[in-house]
Each structure stands twice: as C-alpha cells, then as structure tokens.
Amino acid sequence: MKSPFLKALEERILLGDGAMGTLLFARGVPQSACIEALVLDQPDVVRRIHEDYIAAGADIIETDTFGANRYRLAKHGLETKVRDINFRAARLARDAREIHGWPGFIAGAIGPTGRMLATVGDIKPDEVRAAIREQVEGLLEGGVDLIILETFPDIAELREAIAAVKACSDLPVVAQCTFQRDNRTLGGEPPDEVANIAASLGADVSGINCSLGPHNALEVIEQMASSSSIRLSAMPNAGLPKYVDNRLVYRATPEYFAEYTKRLVQAGANIVGGCCGTTPEHTAAMRDMLEREWNRKAQPKIDAAITVSSPPAGAPSPPSDEKPRTLREKLKAGGFAVSVELDPPRGLNPRKALEGAAALKAAGADTINIGDSPMARVRMSAIALAVLMQQQVGIETIIHFTSRDRNLMAIQSDLLGAHALGIRNVIALTGDPPSGGEYARATGVWDVDSIGFIRIIKMLNSGTDWAGNSIGKGTDFFVACAANPTADNVDLELDRVRRKIEAGADCLMTQQFYDAGSLESFLERLGPIDIPVLIGVMPLQSHKHTEFIHNELAGVFVPEDVRERMRRAGENGVAEGLAQARELLEQCRPMCDGAYLVPSFGRYEVVGELVQFAKSL
C-alpha cells in the first residue's frame, strides 16, 4: 500500500514547519546546549514548538534530531544516547499530533555526521552508513512517517545516508542538500546532479534546505525542475543572519516568505517550509499563501535572472596627470573620490576582476575596493588581487582586511607584506562570522575587533608592532573604518564609530543605504568629525532584487517608498535603480567627500555610468 505521505504529496502541496534550533535559542536555551538532548531534559519546551507549528498550519513537523548522530552527540558526551534521543524525539512529535488530533506527518530529521568523508576527511562511507542507520532505527521505533535528510554538504555523504535509510526501512525519503551562492553544493555539484542522483538512489523527494534564503532556493528549484522528474522540496533559511546583542537575527519576514512560497510552487516545489530563522509566523503566512494559490492552474515559472544594462559607451579616460594623486591626497584637497567595490574570484583566474577594474578606470573611478572573502566565503586573497590590479591596470586599490581569519601575528605580518607590495589603503573590519558563510566548521579568530585593528595599523605607522617592538621605518597606511547609518541598534553603532575615530581612523566609509535622511540623521547624532566620509551606494536592479536586499541582506534597510518605486518600475528596474542612485548621490553630496559604488551580482558595467555621474558632482 502506498504511504499516506506519498499519497498526500500526489494530491497537494505540503507545508513543512520551520526552525527548531533558532527558535529554541530565542526561547532561552543557551547557545552552548545540545538541543537534541532537550527531548530528554526539557521535553515540554520541544513539544510546545511542535504544537506551535501545528497551530500555524504545517502539514509536516520535523523531530528535534538533526544532530542526533553518534559523532555530533560525542561532542557533548552523549554518543551512547543515540537511540534514546531519536526515539524520544519521535514520541514527542507524535504526542503533539495526538493531543491536537492533527492529521499531518512526522518527519525524522537527520543531518550530516559533521565529519568529512575520506579521502579528504577522517570518516569512511561504511561508518557514515552505520551512524545514519543507528538514527533511523531509533526514529522508526518512535513512529515517524518519513525521513528527511537535510543540510547535506555534498552528494557523497548524501549517497551514504540514502543507502542507510533504504537498508533498514521502507519509509519515504526526502533528500536535501545545502547550496552556496553559486548554486552548487560544498562538493561542487549543481542542483540537477543532486536531484538526479537522489532519484536514482531511491529518494522520493529531493531539494534544498538551509543555504542563503528564499531567493537562492528558488534558483536551485528551477534548475532541478528543468532536468529532473523527482518531486522537489524547498526549506530555506530566513536569509543570512547578523549578530545583534550577541545573538543571530534573521531578517526575512513572514510576508517575504509567503511571496516566495508562491514562486517556489510555481517553479516546481511539492514541499515548502523553512529552516534557520523561520518561525510559526512564517509558517502561518506560507499556509495562507498556499490556501489561496495551490488549486490554481500552474503559472509560468518566475525568471530569477536579473536584467542588467549594457556597458557604458564612450566612457572618458581619467585625467592624464604625470603622477596621479592618491586617495588621501584627493580627499585632503577636497575632491570627490569615487571607488567601486569588486569581489576577488572564487578560483585562480582574476581576469574578470582585472577587466572590470580597467573598464571602471576608463570610466573615471579613482580606486577599487577589494573584499576580504566577503560573506565568509573563500575567495582569492584581497592582497594578491590588489597587487595584480595596481601592476596590470594601474589603478589604486583599497583592500578590505578583517580580523576574523588572522591572529595578532598574522595580521601584522600580512600588513607588512601588503605595504612592501605597494598597498597603502586599508578598510579595517571585524568580518562576517564563518558560521554565516560556507564553512560552518570553520572558526573565527578575532584576537581584536575592528577598533583594536585600527590601533594596530596606527602603531605600525608609528614604527612599532602591537607588542611595542620597533619595526624600523613605520608604514604609511591610510585607514578607513566602516559605519552603518541604518543599523538596528544605532546607539551602539554610533558608539563604535566614535571609538574607531578615536583609535585613529583616517576616513569613514558607510554601508550602503537608500535614504539621504538616514545619513543626515546619523552624522548629526555622530557630531562633528574631522575625517572625510565616503557613502556606500548599491544601485537596485529590480523589485525582486530590492526585496532580496531588504529582507535577506543583514544590516541593510530599504525604505518603503523606494521599494514601491522599484515595484512600479517593472521591467525598467535597472533604469529606475540607477535614477534613484543618482538622486541619492546628489542629495548626499553636501554631507560627504566621496562614494564607493557596489555593483550587484558582480556586474561592474552597470555602475560604469554611475561612476561618470559621481565624478561630475
């Protein structure tokens, strides 16, 4: 007889629940706790979350067992409790179902082992199978209706997990991977390959969970649907998190998730739900959308591509001074400096970045900003790319430099090396947490934050290292610090910016914002400062791009009137976004000394026209 779950899946779109871990933390569970062990120690807390998702309209609730395998539990000394935890977690979910007379399904949640498979790691395929099977057996005993394999980093481990489930049960299997910004797994596999291999191994559903947010999930589902017949699931995070008051906060709203629920179903998803950062409120909003939409005839898939403008034609060449002035000299002389941010490549080939820098130099850009593995994702060294640009393109650079990845010795060594190679401009940053990027197992160093980092650079400029040892002749770095005019906690941000200036920052560079009033208010509250200010401007591309930035880009707020203008622009989103960027530059010109422009999706040609406009101010 066909599984009731599979039968229901043939009849309608099913709605999964949302986050377990982030909701537990939000309700007071310490970040250091083993959340899977709560099914033994605080069962009522876990059951209430199941009940909240049931009340919100979920068709599927997942057991609190994502990390309940022998390897992850061993970190808490609980490796002998695998059966007890998985069994009890399944029973808790069943208790919630029975209390409410709920007709939905209980999914036994299984995540990766947390260890790397040989040949690159220290765990063998048969050990993965044994660990997964041990979990499955406890979940089976507890009475789950299906198994969800989620957040798997690559096909290799997912393959072993599917085999383990199939070896000891006939339950339906949902097999999900997590994908990076380039829509590939950490193992480098594209969505269609994941879906087709999952199908060939006997999974009933394949899909994406966790990852970057609904926008990323939509692109993955579209690619899977275009080349595979397996049913699909999408359970994304509520965007990328940011730290607020020592805890992770996710920005994507229930309304944003509801809109993407419709798009995901149109793209081919048969199961939708949420992962980290989503709440019963997100589930309820998604339920409302499904109730309105799922019985309608299939709609055309939404095109996830962003339309961009053509490269600017006839860009003027920069002035042909015998010795071009440096960034600090331009700012000191009262000129309006324009920089453009370019990301280093993810591999060995810097060609696109170098071509972009050359085109932007021709358009009139004074400098190029280069990120330091932005968003905690591995890229070519900013120092290396900066040297290549200065040597091959002949344009001054500003390197982003974080204290995330280096201890005190490495920070100073790399700075001395950068200086020896001709780099003079540094933006001192703390850096995004590794856990918010692609390397969940990586750890941040953070011997100092950005404030302490500025002090280190200033000590090197004075001829001593952090320990007070002489380095001979001092360095000559021009140091920029970051500021966010639309920070969630403006008082805290103002305090940190003042401390950065006191530490010796030579220049202030703001995060992107979309309302001149935000800058005016921020600078007014900051008080008089005697260092130049460069504002961050990222032109919007479309209504969808605008909503993505507002809901999923940590620390960035897009005012409602700007979002509405982009919505009304429709297919003319690029032109409207550039028009708004020009307006913002004009409005902010009396309050700033320059701008750094941030191209969306690495499309530097879109901001070439804006460079010329900014240089005319």
Paired with 175 in beta bridges are: 149, 206
- Residue 268 tokens, joined: 């081919």
- For tokens 């240089």, what's the residue? 615
**Burial (CB count within 10 angstroms: exposed 0-12, middle 13-18, buried 19+), residue 490:** middle
pLDDT tens for 260-281 read: 999 999 999 999 999 999 999 9
- Residue 327 tokens, joined: 């960034």
**Rounded Cα–Cα distance for residues 335 and 593 (Å):** 7
The band of 75, judged by pLDDT with boundaries at 50, 70 and 90, is very high
Exposure b/e, 353-370, CB count within 10 A at least 16 = b? bbebbebbbbbbbbbbbb
**Rounded Cα–Cα distance for residues 365 and 362 (Å):** 7
Q: How many CA atoms lie within 13 A of 214 on its CB side?
A: 33
**Comparison of pLDDT for 519 and 120, the residue scoring more:** 519
The whole-number pLDDT of residue 322 equals 44
The whole-number pLDDT of residue 403 equals 83
On whether the pTM is more than 0.85, the answer is no
Average pLDDT of the chain, as a whole number: 88
The whole-number pLDDT of residue 346 equals 75
pLDDT tens for 92-112 read: 999 999 888 898 999 999 999
**Average pLDDT value for residue range 117-139:** 85
**Rounded Cα–Cα distance for residues 89 and 532 (Å):** 57
| Type of residue found at 613 | F
**Comparison of pLDDT for 602 and 282, the residue scoring more:** 282
Q: Which sequence spans correspond to the domains of the chain? A: 4-293, 328-432+440-615
Residue 202 is classified by DSSP as T
Q: How many helices (H) and strands (E) does the chain have?
A: 23, 18
The whole-number pLDDT of residue 503 equals 94
| Type of residue found at 458 | K
- The answer to whether residues 47 and 95 touch, using CB atoms and an 8 Å cutoff, is yes
Q: Does pLDDT of 323 surpass 60?
A: no
- The answer to whether residues 243 and 230 touch, using CB atoms and an 8 Å cutoff, is no
**Rounded Cα–Cα distance for residues 120 and 12 (Å):** 42
Q: Does pLDDT of 298 surpass 80?
A: no
Q: Does pLDDT of 578 surpass 80?
A: yes
- The answer to whether residues 535 and 595 touch, using CB atoms and an 8 Å cutoff, is yes
pLDDT tens for 347-384 read: 788 888 898 899 899 999 999 999 887 766 778 899 99
Q: In the CATH hierarchy, which top-level class contains the domain 328-432+440-615?
A: alpha beta
The band of 300, judged by pLDDT with boundaries at 50, 70 and 90, is very low
Q: Does pLDDT of 512 surpass 70?
A: yes
**Comparison of pLDDT for 50 and 548, the residue scoring more:** 50
Q: How would CATH label the architecture of 4-293?
A: Alpha-Beta Barrel (3.20)
**Rounded Cα–Cα distance for residues 375 and 58 (Å):** 32
Tally of residues, the chain: 617
Q: Does pLDDT of 539 surpass 90?
A: yes
- Residue 386 tokens, joined: 């900066």
Indicate if 328-432+440-615 has the same CATH topology as 4-293.
yes
| Type of residue found at 530 | D
Q: Does pLDDT of 216 surpass 70?
A: yes
